[in-house]
Structure 1
Amino acid sequence: MYRRSFRRSPGSASVSKRRPGLSGKMFFVAGAKNTASVGGNERRSIYQKFREVDLLDKKKTVTALKPGEDRAILLGLGMIFSSVMMYFVLGITILRSYAESAWTEEGVCVVLNSTVTSDMNCSYNCGSDCWRVSKYPCLQVYVNVNNTGRVCRLSHNEETQDASSECFYVPRCQKDSGQMHSVIMNISERLKAQRQVPCYYDPSEQRETVLLTRLYDHGVVFHSLMWPSCIFLGGLLIIVLVKLTQYLSRLCEEIGKLKR
């Protein structure tokens, strides 16, 4: 009988020897893939948490800014409304008196005569439902307007002209008539000493009197309109800045969405 010897081929031996290493490598690759997937999931979860926190902060910021923007707009609208009301009040008082005044031209008046003609009666308040009579001297001043030979009577302002068509100045009525007399005499001496004074006259020459001063001249009108104008522009600027901030915020959000 022949003995059969079975010999293992080299290929089979090498395959059997390589199997443990191959399985180890496959385990290592699979473990690495699992670890990478776990790390990626952790990174994604961390990113999502940061993203949620960022969105929450943005929502809180928007929620906090919204009432502030509303208050700023209300403040601007309130300032504009207040300035319009001030314009209305000034329009029926100062601007109306300024526009209706006939003494619009400014010139130079030469004092010709300044004398006290007579005593005028006035009444002053001495208590509740109590009025008493006092007297003040009536000062009449005549001037030559712009050296044109036109002689006119000089009055202090529009109120004096309305109160008395004859006297230059009407003092505040009081019990002590001697004090009023001294005030009028001081005014007369000053006019005589100056000789030439600035005055306002009617260019149409319909008024026979000229004014030493005007209640509402160009300077008064400018300063009275300056403050309402500043308030109006301030309120308008606040509204424009708030609207511009909102527009830029929306523009940044749209740009951020496009980049994502």
Structure 2
Amino acid sequence: MCCRSFRQTHRSPSSSQCQHHRGGSGKMFFVAGNKAGQGSGSDKKSIYQKFRGYELMDKRRTETALKAGEDRAIFLGLSMMLCSVMMYFLLGITMVRSYAESVWTEETVCTVLNSTIMADINCSYNCGVDCWRSSKFPCLQVYVSVNASDRVALLSHNEDVLEKNSECFYVPKCQKEQTVMHTLIVDIGERLRAQQQVPCFHDPLERQEAVLLTQLYGRAAVFQSLFWPSCMLAGGLLIILMVKLTQYLSILCEQIGKISK
């Protein structure tokens, strides 16, 4: 019995130590596992933050690039509108004003009565720096009968020719070769005689006795000159409206995204 008691007393410390070691190892394993789980969570959080930072940086770069493009588009639209306004101003004080002040407003048909070459008219042409020489061209006079008013008038090619010489139908560009100008005027006279009836513009109030074959600043010329500035103005306005519409839609999509989240 003494031996048994001695054995039991001798074994008890070892068993208690084993139990103590087992309990201690379990605690150590639990603590180590907890620390490992905490480390993996922090690593995942740091990786997510990095990706989130990259996404924010990319988003900021994209927004900056879009804002710069929108500013350039608005600047382009405003520049186009400004250029069109300047062109309107220039055309308004030149072509549109001449068209508004013109008295040859009514178009009719004129019958050619007489087409003859009169005396030669002196002219001068440029032969170099501070060099001018004289030449001559034949003066073609054309008389027509205005069918709308049954009156006889002198026909001129356009307003510019009428201002240069009211007696001649056409004033060619002065040049050294007189034969060339003479041939040109003779050809014009023959064509008018062969055609007999030509469209013409006259003053219905008879403030001007002359009649014009063509209008230098007519409706077609004014329309063609105002067409391109109008297109430029419409294009600039359309660019600005598209940019503003894009900005409005982007803000609306962002608000909808925030509401859905």
User: After the TM superposition, which residues 67-106 of structure 1 pair with which residues of structure 2 at under 5 Å, given as runs?
Assistant: 67-106=68-107
Aligned to 2:220: 219
Shift of 1:253: 1.6
Q: Which deviates the most, 218-227 or 152-161?
A: 218-227
Q: 1:130 corresponds to which residue? A: 131
Native 8 Å contact 1:110 1:147 kept in 2: no
Distance 2:77 2:174 in 1: 46
**Could you report, residue by residue, the CA deviation over 1:14-54 in whole angstroms, capped at 9, with x for unpaired residues?**
xxxxxxxxxxxxx9xxxxx9999999877766665554443
Contact 2:70 2:243 in 1 (8 A): yes
**Could you tell me how far apart the structure 1 residues matched to 2:50 and 2:248 are?**
29
Change (3 A) 1:147 1:225: closer
Deviations 1:119-157 (A, max 9, x none): 111111222222222111111111111264211110000
Match of 1:111 in 2: 112
* Aligned equivalent of 1:54: 55
Distance 1:202 1:104 in 2: 6
3-state secondary structure, aligned to 2:205:
coil
Q: CA deviation at 1:223?
A: 1.2
Q: In structure 1, give the amino acid aligned to 2:241.
A: V
Partners of 1:95 and 1:221 within 8 A in 2: yes
2:178: which partner in 1? 177
2:139 counterpart letter in structure 1: C
Aligned residues: 236
Q: State the alpha-carbon separation in 1 of the partners of residues 190 and 121 from structure 2.
A: 20
Could you tell me which amino acid in structure 1 is paired with residue 234 of structure 2?
L
- Deviation of the 1:250 alpha carbon: 1.4
SS at match of 1:93: helix
Moved more, 140-149 or 101-110: 140-149
CA distance in 1, matches of 2:257, 2:43: 25
Q: TM-score, normalised by structure 2?
A: 0.80
Q: Which amino acid aligns with 1:133?
A: S
Contact 1:124 / 1:131 at 8 angstroms: preserved in 2? yes
User: Who is 1:196 aligned against?
Assistant: 197
SS where residue 169 of structure 2 aligns? coil
Greater alpha carbon shift after TM alignment, 125-134 vs 188-197: 125-134
* Stretches of structure 1 lacking an aligned partner (at least 5 in a row): 1-26, 28-32
**Which SS does the other structure have where 1:208 is aligned?**
coil
- SS where residue 103 of structure 2 aligns? coil
Does the residue aligned with 2:145 lie in a helix, a strand or coil? strand
Could you tell me which residue of structure 1 aligns to residue 23 of structure 2?
Answer: none
Please list, as runs of the form range in 1=range in 2, the aligned pairs for 1:33-44 lying within 5 A after superposition.
none
Tell me whether 1:248 sits opposite 2:249 in the alignment: yes
* Moved beyond 6 Å, runs of 4+: 33-46
Task: Sort the Cα spacing of 1:86 and 1:173 in 2 relative to 1 into closer, same or farther, 3 A.
Answer: same
Alpha-carbon RMSD across the aligned residues, in angstroms, is 2.7
Tell me whether 204-213 or 250-259 shows the greater mean CA deviation.
Answer: 250-259
Cα distance in 2 for partners of 1:148, 1:97 equals 25
Instruction: Between 172-181 and 161-170, report the one with greater CA deviation.
Output: 172-181
- Distance (Å, rounded) in 1 between the aligned partners of 2:252 and 2:36: 42
Q: Percent of aligned pairs with the same residue?
A: 63
**CA 148–92 in structure 1, closer or farther in 2 if over 3 Å, else same:** closer
Q: Match of 2:258? A: 257
Letter in 1 for 2:114: N
Which residue of structure 2 lines up, in the alignment, with residue 5 of structure 1?
none
Amino acid at match of 2:230: S
